[in-house]
């Protein structure tokens, strides 16, 4: 993770000239990234897993910086899964420390760049100092409109849906739209995911944004997250822009 369907195992082959002219989509999009492979990247180089998480954080910075010019209005990064608590405590602590450092050092930059920060997921299991940093960063960047950066921390989509359902049963209006509104209360408000990218070679959602990814386009890459570059993000957006998205309807070309 951050700190650690046509499906493809290799980086998407996009002709060089087209990529240089890559233009944003007709409307802003929501891109979600399962930033997998940090630990394996480090161990393959004889480094501690913590080195992979730090390298992954640098990849995240580059992607965040590039996102707005590619037409991305919302970017959701999977920083720490609720399932990751099964990992050694030192590794989990290291991931949370990197997140804390990011919030302390990058919040002012996000304000300058018009980036709104939201943290989705549980907060009761993270250190109190990190909880306060989250509150401070969210408040300080609340008026950002250029990019909505969402970091999923101690996050489980199943838990989010379950908790929303527990609140929803008291609602007077029963509809998918009203349920989505209840679900949004615990996830910083968002739109459906348009494009989901997963690095590291795995081809699964891993309990990430299950409701929001109902009609998302998927791009799976074999390269590990620390090796993911802005060029790869450009290629994925380019691929997305050239896919036909019908959401179950007939394409316009044959609908008549």
Please state the separation of Cα 134 from the chain's center in Å: 17
The pLDDT value recorded for residue 171 is 63
Each domain of the chain, given as residue ranges in start order, spans 16-207
Provide the token pair at 134. 């989250």
Other beta carbons less than 10 A from residue 158's beta carbon: 11
The third-level CATH classification (topology) of the domain covering 16-207 is Undecaprenyl pyrophosphate synthetase (3.40.1180)
**Rounded (5°) CA angle 31-21-247:** 40
3-state secondary structure 56-121: HHHHHHHHHHHHHHHCEEEEEEEEEEHHHHHCCHHHHHHHHHHHHHHHHHHHHHHHHHCEEEEEEC
Provide the token pair at 241. 């822009």
Q: Which of these is catalytic: 18, 22, 36, 227?
A: 36
- The dihedral over CA atoms of 224, 76, 197, 243, expressed in degrees to the nearest 10, equals -160
The pLDDT value recorded for residue 10 is 47
Q: Which of these is catalytic: 38, 84, 154, 232?
A: 84
The pLDDT value recorded for residue 48 is 96
Provide the token pair at 159. 């838990």
As beta bridge partners, residue 80 has: 153
Tens-digit pLDDT string for the chain (256 aa)? 554 433 344 444 444 445 545 555 568 999 999 999 999 999 999 999 999 999 999 999 999 999 999 999 999 999 999 999 999 999 999 999 999 999 999 999 999 999 999 999 999 999 999 999 999 999 999 999 999 999 999 999 999 888 888 777 776 666 777 777 777 765 556 679 999 999 999 999 999 999 999 999 999 999 999 999 999 999 999 999 999 887 666 666 545 4
The pLDDT value recorded for residue 3 is 46
- Give yes or no: 163 in active site: no
The pLDDT value recorded for residue 17 is 41
- Give yes or no: 84 in active site: yes
């Amino acid at each position: 993770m951050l700190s650690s369907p046509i499906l493809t195992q290799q980086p998407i082959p996009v002709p060089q000239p087209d990529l240089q002219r890559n233009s944003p989509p007709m409307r802003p999009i929501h891109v979600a990234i399962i930033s997998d492979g940090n630990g394996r990247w480090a161990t393959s180089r004889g480094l501690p897993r913590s080195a992979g998480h730090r390298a992954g954080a640098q990849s995240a910075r580059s992607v965040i910086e590039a996102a707005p010019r590619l037409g991305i209005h919302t970017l959701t990064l999977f920083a720490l899964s609720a399932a990751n608590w099964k990992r050694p405590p030192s590794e989990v602590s290291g991931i949370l420390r990197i997140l804390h450092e990011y919030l302390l050092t990058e919040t002012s930059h996000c304000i300058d760049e018009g980036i709104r920060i939201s943290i989705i997921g549980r907060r009761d299991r993270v250190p109190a100092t990190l909880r306060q940093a989250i509150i401070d960063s969210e408040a300080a960047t609340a008026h950002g409109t250029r990019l909505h950066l969402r970091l999923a921390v101690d996050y489980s989509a199943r838990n989010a849906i379950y908790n929303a359902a527990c609140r929803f049963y008291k609602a007077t209006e029963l509809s998918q739209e009203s349920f989505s509104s209840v679900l949004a209360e615990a996830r910083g408000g968002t739109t459906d995911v348009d494009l989901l990218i997963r690095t590291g070679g795995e081809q699964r959602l891993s309990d990430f944004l299950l409701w929001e990814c109902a009609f998302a386009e998927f791009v799976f890459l074999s390269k590990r997250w620390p090796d993911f570059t802005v060029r790869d993000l450009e290629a994925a957006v380019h691929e997305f822009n050239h896919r036909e998205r019908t959401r179950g309807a007939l394409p316009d070309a044959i609908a008549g």
